[in-house]
Structure 1
Amino acid sequence: MNKSLEIKSLPSTSPVFPASYRWELLALLWFAFFLNQADRQIFSVVLPLIRKDLGLTDAELGLIASALVWTYGLLVPIAGFIGDRYSRRNILGISLLFWSLATLSTGFCTTLIQFVLLRGIATGGGEAFYAPSANSLLSEHHSQNKSLALSIHQTAVYFGIILSGLIAGYVGEHYGWQRAFFLFGSFGVILGIVFFVRVKKDTPAIAKELLPDTQAVSVAQVARIIVKKPTVWMLTLAFACMVFVNVGYLTWMPSFLAEKFGQSLTEAGFTSLFYHHVGAFLGVLMGAKIADSFAKTKPQSRLIVQALGLLLGAPFIYLMSVSLSPSVTYVALFCFGLFRGWYDSNIVASLYEVVAPQIRSSAYGLMLACAFLVGATSPFLLGILKPTLGLTTGLASLAGFYVLGSGLIATAVVWFFKHDKET
């Protein structure tokens, strides 16, 4: 490995803040992450209303959803590197305001190009700069209870997606789809102002005077290092399979339930997300506990838990798609979420087993980029196939990607993990 990237234990460069401030920061970031996920999901919930009102095709609607994820994938590695160099308070506050204004403005869209620009590129671009800086800032301020703080922060994903389905569905059904975007966007603008008022400006975790060589590390340098580790390739490709399934499911499942079982928009928006993410919440806790128990003696256990999560979740993806009973569909959604949680619980931890500490943030950014750029095609492809094959077949086929992802991780465990961890 390049010696300029070697790292030693360094003294903390951050001031010590009182516990009250650290927990206030966690609360503010939780609500920001809640809106990050909610703003991303409301389009899928009100999608039938937009189709009816504006006459957009299924392929065009899928393209709008894919544009957001493509933009996110392109910009998230840049966000990771910027977060190591500039004030994360400023990055997070500007990001929150930017994507919230884009969400609010989406309510005024009337054409495909407007949706692609505002909903896809602007919203996705703003959201891309959130996660790297938020996780870094939280880890720094909660160094003694890092796992607890990050786990609490992660729960905002599930609450954001579930409640956005319920709230956006109700608002869209009773007051128009435009007002759903106005509502969530306005909350984000208010939170952004509060964020700048309450959060103190910070110094990046890697101070220039302590790590001059690390400051100079480029995306290309990190890529050259991790490209030599096949385990990272396998984990990235498996992550792409998971993202492909997840983005497709989140985009089209509300429409699927509304069309298949005649549910109202509010009911479909809620049920399509609630059972799955309750399962995912439990699965994350379960998967982390299982992996932590075995990883002390066998670090590859984290990857094994991930592989099992994808493999065991695949049958339930198929079942939720083909079932003719709403009750069976809900059970399948819950089990699909449960095993998805097993996978989610070790995404970062598994990567960190084979990547040196000084480039972990940058490596994770590149992993996110590759996975989201591949996975973003899912809504668009399902939208193209919907008029001919139907959503039942399209969603059922997603099970194959879970099986493929499981096989990729298993390959890494058997053939590459030991060598990549030692080098």
Structure 2
Amino acid sequence: MFRTPGPVLITVLMCLAQVATLVDVFVFATLIRTFETEWLLTKVEQGWVLGIYHAGYVLAVPVIMALTDRVDARRLYMAGCLFIAVAATGFAFLAEGFWSALLFRALSGFGFAATYMPGLRVLVDRYSGGNESRAIAFYTSSWSLGTAVSYLLAGVLGETLGWQAAFLAGGAGALVALVLVAVCLTPLAPTRAPEPTRLLDFRPVLRNRPAMGYVLGYAAHTYELLAFRAWLVAFLAFSLTQQAEPMVGWLAEPSRIAMFTAVAAMLSSIAGNELAQRLDRPRFIAVVQCVTASLACVIGFMGAMSYEAVVALVILYALLVQADSASLTAGVVGAAEDGRRGATLAVYNLLGWTCGFAGPVLVGAVLGAAGTESTAGWGLAFMTMGGVTFLGAAAVRILAGGRPAA
């Protein structure tokens, strides 16, 4: 196989590998009604199972990303793939209720921590072409393609073969990613910082104002995005129950709508980064986040509208919520000091995915507190998703606003 892939090939390779590692990511969210019925899960318990994946990611990512400044990220990536495969397979065969589901989803989150941003390090450390920002945008945007595949396969396999088959597919996808990276890439030692620090000494990163602007913006973005992705299928299913006439056809399959929104979001993320390169990056991100948060504050209250209108609003929201994703990651990579990319991405992901864990849990708590599902309850849930994003927009504008667009 290829041993020294060029810039296009390595970008495609890492995007495909990332899609393969994400097959299991939204299986539980897609089949949430199945688990609610079989395991009698409350909304609060559902929120915890949805969120614990991100909590597992948060616990592991600071150490793993700091290690990428010291060891080849490729080694960590392959270990993460193996971890995801074991966790997804364990869920398929051993999960039987709330507590076991928590355990295996947390373990899968550990694995994802060793693949998502370490995969970005694998890419940028080996990327030899021009316009690194564009390669980063394609990689981060492929997260949306991976979630689309997860929604689609979970819906199809869950309906035809059962939820266990959907999780087994997630384990198989991770093994495919492991083989791709192991066969196609050779080891590469990372660049060392001129003034090395202790492994988890993030003080130089915290003093980097432009980088911290992107970090805080990403935290708000991830809080909103992962809450939206976790609860999207449930929201669409609720909207279906509010229609006067039963829906038929592909519109009546919430998992397929979720899949379509994820594909659209991938294109939005790439286009957003292209615009950010030509405009003022911090200002672009701040405007996108303010518009997205404003829509979030009203969309939940519209769940009883015609289903076609709800789907259109959800697609618009998905396009907006992802438009700043690649721009944030390209911005923080560009703002990172030499030799501290791993540490900078560790802080970026630690704060971002801590908020990503909190989002689904808090939305579940809001829905649980509202009692019986209603447009008011979903309205408050979406306000919970979007309200924090205004703070992220302010952080990006104030802290990163003085840095030239990257």
Q: What is the TM-score normalised by the length of structure 1?
A: 0.82
Runs of 5+ consecutive residues of structure 2 not aligned to the other structure: 242-246, 371-376
Residue of structure 2 aligned with 1:94, choices 79, 82, 85: 79
Residue of structure 2 aligned with 1:362, choices 332, 343, 348: 343
**Alpha carbons 2:87, 2:171 under 8 Å: kept:** yes
Which amino acid counterpart does residue 257 of structure 2 have in structure 1? T
> In structure 2, what is the Cα distance between the partners aligned to 1:80 and 1:351?
14
Change (3 A) 1:267 1:194: same
Runs of 5+ consecutive residues of structure 1 not aligned to the other structure: 1-15, 295-300
Superposed, 1:22-421 pairs within 5 Å as: 25-108=10-93, 109-120=95-106, 122-145=107-130, 146-193=132-179, 195-196=181-182, 198-206=183-191, 211=192, 213-214=194-195, 216-221=196-201, 223-262=202-241, 267-275=253-261, 277-294=262-279, 301-323=280-302, 324-352=305-333, 354-389=335-370, 390-412=377-399, 417-418=401-402
> In structure 1, what is the Cα distance between the partners aligned to 2:364 and 2:325?
26
After TM superposition, give the deviation of residue 17 of structure 1 in Å: 4.9
After TM superposition, give the deviation of residue 194 of structure 1 in Å: 5.2
SS at match of 1:39: coil
**Alpha carbons 1:38, 1:160 under 8 Å: kept:** yes
> In structure 2, what is the Cα distance between the partners aligned to 1:66 and 1:142?
33
After TM superposition, give the deviation of residue 366 of structure 1 in Å: 1.0
**Alpha carbons 1:62, 1:382 under 8 Å: kept:** yes
Change (3 A) 1:88 1:410: closer
After TM superposition, give the deviation of residue 345 of structure 1 in Å: 2.8
> In structure 2, what is the Cα distance between the partners aligned to 1:200 and 1:241?
34
Q: What is the TM-score normalised by the length of structure 2?
A: 0.85
> In structure 1, what is the Cα distance between the partners aligned to 2:207 and 2:4?
43
Change (3 A) 1:63 1:313: same
**Alpha carbons 1:34, 1:159 under 8 Å: kept:** yes
Which entry has the higher C-alpha Rg, 1 or 2? 1
Which amino acid counterpart does residue 350 of structure 1 have in structure 2? G
SS at match of 1:345: helix
Aligned to 1:13: none
SS at match of 1:67: helix
**Alpha carbons 1:83, 1:204 under 8 Å: kept:** no
After TM superposition, give the deviation of residue 67 of structure 1 in Å: 1.4
SS at match of 2:47: helix
Which amino acid counterpart does residue 234 of structure 2 have in structure 1? S
SS at match of 1:284: helix
SS at match of 1:33: helix
SS at match of 1:358: coil
Superposed, 1:3-18 pairs within 5 Å as: 17-18=3-4
> In structure 2, what is the Cα distance between the partners aligned to 1:32 and 1:18?
17
Give me the CA root mean square deviation. 2.7
> In structure 1, what is the Cα distance between the partners aligned to 2:135 and 2:184?
17
Q: Report the identity percentage.
A: 18
**Alpha carbons 1:226, 1:363 under 8 Å: kept:** yes
After TM superposition, give the deviation of residue 26 of structure 1 in Å: 4.3
After TM superposition, give the deviation of residue 349 of structure 1 in Å: 3.1
After TM superposition, give the deviation of residue 394 of structure 1 in Å: 0.8
> In structure 2, what is the Cα distance between the partners aligned to 1:372 and 1:19?
31
After TM superposition, give the deviation of residue 52 of structure 1 in Å: 0.6
Range that drifts further, 323-332 or 363-372: 323-332
After TM superposition, give the deviation of residue 381 of structure 1 in Å: 1.7
> In structure 1, what is the Cα distance between the partners aligned to 2:5 and 2:212?
40
Query: Could you list the runs of 4 or more consecutive aligned residues of structure 1 that deviate by over 6 angstroms after TM superposition?
Result: 263-266
Which amino acid counterpart does residue 389 of structure 2 have in structure 1? Y
Which amino acid counterpart does residue 54 of structure 2 have in structure 1? V
| Superposed CA offset, 1:261-311 (max 9, x none) | 147998111213423x344233223322222123xxxxxx21111101101
Which amino acid counterpart does residue 99 of structure 2 have in structure 1? I
| Superposed CA offset, 1:114-145 (max 9, x none) | 1111112x100011011333222222333114
